[in-house]
Structures are given as C-alpha cells and as structure tokens.
Structure 1
Amino acid sequence: MGDILIVDDERDIRELVADILEDEGYTCRKAANSGECMAEVEKEPPSLMILDIWLKDSDMDGIDILKIAKRDYPGMPVIIISGHGNIEIAVAAIKQGAYDYIEKPFNIDQLMVVIGRAMETSRLRRENVELRRRDVEPPELIGNSPAFRTLKSSLEKVTKSNGRVMLTGPAGSGKELAARYIHANSGRAEHPFVTVGAAAIEPERMEEVLFGRESPERGIEPGLLEQADNGVLFFDEVADMPLGTQSKILRVLVDQTFTRVGGTEKVRVDIRVISSTNRDLTQLAADGIFRQELFHRLAVVPIDVPSLDDRREDIPELASFFLQMFNRQQGLPLRTLSEEATTLLQTTIWPGNIRQLKNMMERVLILSGGKGEIAAAELPGPDAAPADDQGRVVLSGSLATLPLREARELFEREYLLTQINRFGGNISRTASFVGMERSALHRKLKSLGVVTSSKQGARIAHLDEQPAG
C-alpha cells in the first residue's frame, strides 16, 4: 500500500503508530532523531512521512527537516505531529509545505483519515507526473484495418476543434490512447492532459480531488480541474462518477467556473473535456443512474473505439510494436513472431482487447527466456481447443453431440467466419490462406449462410438472407 517513515523521539509513539499502520497493510520505517530520519530518506524516499516537530538529541527540528524534504522531494507528503502545538506552529508547518498538522495526543481514526488522503493525493500526483512524462513522445496509433482507419479519421476531425468528445468501446480497446492522440495533435498539446479515474477515487473524495479545497489553516490546494487549465481533462470511465458530482460537473461545463471545497470565490478555468465509457450511457441515463443532460453535454462528438476482435488485421503490427517497446523500455529480448504464432494470435478471442494482447507479449518475453522467433507453442492459448497427450483435439461437449454433417457445417462456418474477419473481409486473401479458389469460397459461404462486407467483415446471414433450399 505504501512506505511510511515515522519520525518521533518518543519510542512508544513510534511503535504505536507503526503497529497500527502495519495492521492496515502499510510498510513502516522508524527514526528517533534528525540524523536517522535523513539517513532513511536518502536511502529511499518514503511514500509519506509522519514527522514530530520537537526532536531530542537532534541537529534539526521538524520544521528544518520539512524544508529539506519539500525542497528535495516535493512530491512526498509530510504530516506534522506535535504535543506542544499551537496555531502558529500549524500555520508555519503548512506554509513550509506540510500536508496536514495533527496535535498530540491524536485520535487514531483522525490520523488514519489524514494518512489515507495524503497517500491518495501523492498517488494522483505521481500518476499525472508519469503520464506527462509519457507525453514527451506523441502517442502512436497502430493499425491499417478498415475499423482502425475509420477510427483514426474520426479522431483527426476533432483534433483541431474544442468540442467535447465521448469515446465508447470495450475495456482495453485503447480509449485513453485515442484521447491522448486528440490532445497531442490539438492546439492544447503544450498544456496538461489530466486524467480523472472516476472508478479509482472514493465517492466522498471526488469533489475535493476535482475542485480542490481551501481553509485558513491549509491555504489553497488546487484540484484536478485547475491542474488541467488550458489543457484537457479526461474522464476515464465517466459512468462511475457519483450522481452528486455529476450535477456539479454539469455546472462547470456550462460556465467553466467552480468553487473549491471550503471556499467561496469562483474559480475560472479553460479546459477541453474528453470522456470515455465501456457502458451504455443512454440506458444508464434512462435508468436515472447517469444524468441525461450531462450525457448530452459530454457526448457532443461520440466516437466508437473498436474492439480488437473487430480489427484482427492489425494484430501482427500491434504485437510487433509491443515486442519492440518492451525491448526498448525494459531490455527484454528482441523477438519476432513466427507465421504460426501470428495465425494463432489472429484467431484467438480477445475479451481484454489490446491491453490483453500487450500483456501477453510482455509475459511471453519474460517467461520464455528464448531467442529468435516466438513459436505458437510459447503463446498462452486459453481459447484454443485443448489437446490430449497424444496430440488429439478434444471436442467441446456441444460439438461432440452433433451428427457428423451438422458438426462439419458448424465447424466450417465458424472457421471461415474467423478467417474472413482475420483478413478484414478480404475474400482473395482468405481464399489463398484456406487453399480454395475464390469462386469456390464464395459458393461455400453462400451455402453456409455467411455474408461478407469489406467494412463489417463476415457475419451469419439473417433468416431472410439465407439461400433457398
């Protein structure tokens, strides 16, 4: 969960706080004075520091340590504790960058709440720093299938506008990458791209994270909306946003102003909003789970991001891209796919879409330890038909119960559907691969009730499309 450094000259306090935090799943380190504290920080900066103001037998007090910590490790939150507290010390600590101030004897529940908030704030900062670091190189869209070309054409049309975009599609299909592509090719490319992971933020913390907060003791803490000023705010899986927050976001979209939690003054921002969802927002709005007006304001330009199953032609290029990326970023072996492995990937079912393909490529490189081409046998095959120890394919229960004629027809239909979709609806390439004449393949497809389209690939015909006889 996180590494916390507890700095206090009282051994009982150090042990008590550490025991409580370790029971909650945190990893703790302890320091009794400024020397031990700085040694621990230099060895490995913690995720969070709990720091006493007054430290016996130390060259520095808590405020001195705080100044150094915020200078050298600005992203590390520091919670100040003291048994000699007063408002002047609290204000001094906050001005020097402390996340919060708690007076001894402290309430454990209060301490846990403050620690939880500090850790979440730290995590969000780290994530956004990492995301901005990735943005040094423009996001790369990979593919050449009809479905991909349609997607890229739609993205190109909205890059230069300021309209709100709603990206829909299954999980793992690349919706965030599409949002980053819009940002990187827009007039806001030099400004922040800030992600709001609606599902990752606790509902009761959502408004504070978005709008920020202010108080006489703590001053102003900007939220994600202010951090995204002049740039793009990306709502990832917006359907998970609490209803109460939805109404406040709606007001922000209307006039681009909001009020921080605990504040009274209006804050004005200039942001472009891009959202994503893998759920049916129209149905959620009809069910009262998502605000109808917010849906219409977010989905000014709806763009569908296709699943990997809808763009099987792109799988070899995507897999090759990931293999090269892991070699470049992690130093894993640079390998290529054999023809058999490529065929297997193109005929596999991908419920996790591009993310699943990426994870599979990384897993193969890590676990195989091999060199050269990746063989089909090295690929995990959860959707492949199992084989016994003599290499015979074990039939599924449904197929094994059918008469030979029906089983053969079912197999041929599914096999040809898979191959045609694999080649993006291209009949000539499919015929070449399966070893049939083009005209013979057309006749076979017609007899099996399969219709093809260069845009939609292959599908089973409706009853009124089925051939007679």
Structure 2
Amino acid sequence: MTKPRLLVLDDDETVRGQMRWAFCRDYEVLEAETRGAALRVAREQETQLGVIDLGLPPAPLEPSEGMTAIREILSINPLFKAVIITGLDERQEAFRALDLGAFDYFTKPVSIDEVRVTLKRGWLSYRQQAEHLSASSGAGWPNEMIGVSAPMQEVFRTIRKAAEVNIPALIAGEHGSGKETAARAMHRLGIRHAMQFISVDCAGTPHKELENELFGLNGDGRHGRKCRFEQADGGTIYMKEVGALSLSLQGRLLRVLREHAIERPDSNGRTSIDVRVISSTAMDLRAMARSGEFSEELLHRIGVITLEVPPLKDRGDDVYLLALYFLKKHSREFNKPVRGFDKECVGYLKSYRWHGNVRELENRVRRAVIFFNKSEISGADLGIPAIAFDAPKKNSMGLAEARDLFKRRMVQEALSRSKWNVARAAAELGISRQYLSKLITKYNLSPA
C-alpha cells in the first residue's frame, strides 16, 4: 500500500531529521527548508499532509513566509492538511493559519506523540474528503458539482438513487443554490443520459408564451414545430420554478403526467410521449397547496422523489473549494494569471452569508478575475465587506437567556463549519480548546 506523503517544512535541519525519523514508518517524508522549495514539492508530487513551522527564511522571526506557504499549497491541493508549529507567543498567528485552512497547530516544545495522533486524524479526514470528491466528480457529474460537506454528501446520495429510477423528482432550494446543476446530474447519471435534457423557465416566461412552448402553438400558423415535451421525448424535461405555473398550466401538466401524452391545440388527437419530469422550486409548495395556489395532486405527482439542495452558507469548506474551481475556470477563460485568494479573503469567503448562493459566488469571482490584474484576489476585489454577518433579529427573551442562546449557536455553527475540529473551532471563536470543551459539555453538543 502506498504511504501518504508528509511534507516537513522547517529551516532547522535538526528538526527535519527528527520528524523524518519519527514519521518515516507511516509516511513518505518529503523535506523543504524554504517556501519556494515546499511549493516545488507540492507542484511535483501530490502531498496530503504537512508539518509547517511558520517562521521561515528570509524572515524567520516573522510568520509571513509560513502563512504564504500554507495558502499556496492549499491553492494546489485544497484538501492538504497542514499541522502548524509555532512559538508560545505566536498563538494568534496559529489562529490565523487555521482561518487560512490549516488543520491543527502546536506550540513549542512539541510532543511527537501528539503530532502523530493529529497526523492520523488529518490523514483520515483527507481520505474521507478525497473519496467524497471522487464520488462527485465521476462520469455524469457536472464540474461545478463540488462538495465535501455533510449536506452535499446527502445530496449526492439522493441524486444517485434518483438516477437509478425513471420517476418524477422535485428539487427544492434557495435561488442560486444549484438546483439545475443537480437536475442535470440526475439526468446524466440515468438511463436517459444519451437523450435530450430540455430546460423550461416557468417563472421567466409569460403565460401565453409558456403555454405554447410547453404544449404546442395555438393557431399562429407555424404548424409542425415541436413543443418542449415533444423535443424531450425519450429524455428529461426540467421545469424550473414549477411553482410559478398558473393553475390552468398546472392542470395541463398534471394530465401529461397522468396520461403520458399531450394534446396539441393545432392538431387532432393526442401524441404519446416518454419523458421524465424533473421540477425545481424555491417556493414552499406545500403551503401553496394548502392555500389553493398549487395543485395538491400535482405536488404529489412531481414530488415522488424529493431533494433539498442546501444554501451555500451551510456548506462549510465547500465555499473555498468552489471559489478555487471558479477562479481556475475563469482565469483560463480570460487568460489571467490569477493564482489564488489572499489570506484575509479566505476568511471572508467563510464568514460571508452568500444570500445568492453558488451563483453569487461564481459571479463575484468571475468579475474579480475580469477587472483586477493581480496574482491574488482580495475580499475587496470580490466586493465582500470585512464584517459580513447578518444583523441579529429582535427578540423578546431576557438578556441572559438571549446571550446564552447566542453563545450556544455560535459554538454549534463553528463546530459544524470545522467538522468538529475542536482546535479550528476554538481558533475561529477566539477561545481556548479547554474552554470550548467546557462549552460543548455545558450545551450537551455532539456531532450530527
């Protein structure tokens, strides 16, 4: 079995030798004494783990070289697990490194046994994330269908199951969250993958035009033109924002699903069709059905399989992975020499609420690539403010209760974003690991 590669980045030859001796049995140990040497190693060989001293030449008393090394290696391999070694008086710099994406940190003097345990955790985390990415990047998956977060793993599982059958599916989620991307993956992985995938925008098309587009022309003389259901025959029709359909069009769609045929107003008789219907919505169709705005029977027909695409703010490290994907995609498209994001920008990407979800992220990255000729994109280039949190809502509870509830929520969200990496969550919250452990016990928190 091939050993995982461990990069030891330290300008002290004695330290590198100690690390090599301690870890050579379990890892293929690669050594570097400068940031440039480490970058060459990362580019030439896939490196999964690293032990990195922040103080490197030409300024070993400053953390800047080590920070830059972490950022550059992560831009080559976003799954890279870096364990930081730092002095007692440099703990804040270690917290900053965790914000950049480092896995954990230790202050000098270092216990080799503790580092060994942390590297094992890092390797386990790396393998799990690599397996998730591999499963989501195989044949049929759209390139932008990226995710290692728990919510996206559930999405991938549902898509695979839905692709195996030939029944209607309903995809729910916020605007811009990737519902059409999920629908295309469902189509490409299914038995209809060689046939047409026809997308129909139910919200962005006027009623009469939409009726003609879906079911056939209504006496305007252009006979012989196929409607969307006929074009999709044998394949898939995607009903984007199906909740925007009028009640009359809902009725016609329901008949198509019941009878597997359409009645064109410009011809006699019915035309049989073999189409899989995948619908999407950002609306609460159940509430609309209760109020009479949406057909309850149609809801049952289109929602035999249901899939919820999570908002980007709930997807943890996926934000950075997607940002890197879009950066590489558009830097190639516009022939721009952009390599990555600066250290402050990485923090902004994680803290920003992304109300426009994946679509907003791609648009911001694309615009930054177009308008800024620089090697690294900043938060300002993306148009993200330094403080990018939603304002708290008004509440009638007491101050102490509200403070406690807010603290519990902050701890819970930090642990979720860090996949229960206590060191990273503590660094994000600005508290010690010991205090965070006490809060976990106090609030009776546990991984979902």
TM-score range, shorter chain: 0.5 to 0.7
Matching of residues 6-405 of structure 1 within 5 Å: 138-213=142-217, 218-371=222-375, 373-382=376-385, 384=387
More RCO (CA 8 Å, sep 6+): 2
Give the whole-Å Cα distance in 2 for the aligned partners of 1:215 and 1:398.
54
Aligned partner letter, 1:172: G
Query: Any conservation in 2 of the 1:214–1:220 contact (CA below 8 Å)?
Result: no
Residues 292-301 or 217-226, more deviating: 217-226
Secondary structure (helix, strand or coil) at the match of 2:170 reads: strand
Match of 2:77 in 1: none
Q: 1:419 Cα shift?
A: 2.9
The change in CA–CA distance for 1:436 and 1:211 in structure 2 (over 3 A counts) is same
Query: Any conservation in 2 of the 1:139–1:180 contact (CA below 8 Å)?
Result: no
Per-residue CA deviation, residues 254-306 of structure 1 (Å, 9 max, x unaligned), is: 12111112222211111101010011111101111000100000000111111
Aligned length: 306
Give the whole-Å Cα distance in 1 for the aligned partners of 2:218 and 2:157.
44
Query: Any conservation in 1 of the 2:144–2:325 contact (CA below 8 Å)?
Result: no
Secondary structure (helix, strand or coil) at the match of 2:176 reads: coil
Give the whole-Å Cα distance in 2 for the aligned partners of 1:223 and 1:175.
24
Gaps of 5+ in 1: 1-134, 387-395, 456-469
Q: 1:358 Cα shift?
A: 1.0
Secondary structure (helix, strand or coil) at the match of 2:319 reads: helix
Secondary structure (helix, strand or coil) at the match of 2:248 reads: helix
Query: Any conservation in 1 of the 2:141–2:188 contact (CA below 8 Å)?
Result: no
Give the whole-Å Cα distance in 2 for the aligned partners of 1:423 and 1:234.
35
Give the whole-Å Cα distance in 1 for the aligned partners of 2:154 and 2:356.
21
**How high is the sequence identity, in percent, across the aligned residues?**
33
Match of 1:454 in 2: 447
Q: 1:351 Cα shift?
A: 1.1
Per-residue CA deviation, residues 185-209 of structure 1 (Å, 9 max, x unaligned), is: 1111111100010011111222211
* Match among 413, 416, 420 for residue 415 of structure 2: 420
Q: 1:322 Cα shift?
A: 0.5
Give the whole-Å Cα distance in 2 for the aligned partners of 1:249 and 1:405.
54
The change in CA–CA distance for 1:259 and 1:334 in structure 2 (over 3 A counts) is same
Residues 430-439 or 270-279, more deviating: 430-439
Give the whole-Å Cα distance in 2 for the aligned partners of 1:405 and 1:287.
40
Q: 1:340 Cα shift?
A: 2.5
TM-score, L = length of structure 2: 0.62
Query: Any conservation in 2 of the 1:191–1:231 contact (CA below 8 Å)?
Result: yes
The change in CA–CA distance for 1:444 and 1:295 in structure 2 (over 3 A counts) is same
Secondary structure (helix, strand or coil) at the match of 1:219 reads: coil
* Match among 438, 444, 448 for residue 443 of structure 1: 438
Q: 1:427 Cα shift?
A: 3.0
Q: 1:453 Cα shift?
A: 4.4
Query: Any conservation in 2 of the 1:140–1:181 contact (CA below 8 Å)?
Result: no
Q: 1:433 Cα shift?
A: 4.9
Query: Any conservation in 2 of the 1:347–1:419 contact (CA below 8 Å)?
Result: no
Query: Any conservation in 2 of the 1:338–1:375 contact (CA below 8 Å)?
Result: yes
Larger radius of gyration: 1
Query: Any conservation in 1 of the 2:233–2:275 contact (CA below 8 Å)?
Result: yes
Query: Any conservation in 1 of the 2:230–2:273 contact (CA below 8 Å)?
Result: yes
Give the whole-Å Cα distance in 2 for the aligned partners of 1:290 and 1:151.
26
Gaps of 5+ in 2: 1-138
Give the whole-Å Cα distance in 2 for the aligned partners of 1:250 and 1:397.
43
Secondary structure (helix, strand or coil) at the match of 2:354 reads: coil
Query: Any conservation in 2 of the 1:155–1:182 contact (CA below 8 Å)?
Result: yes
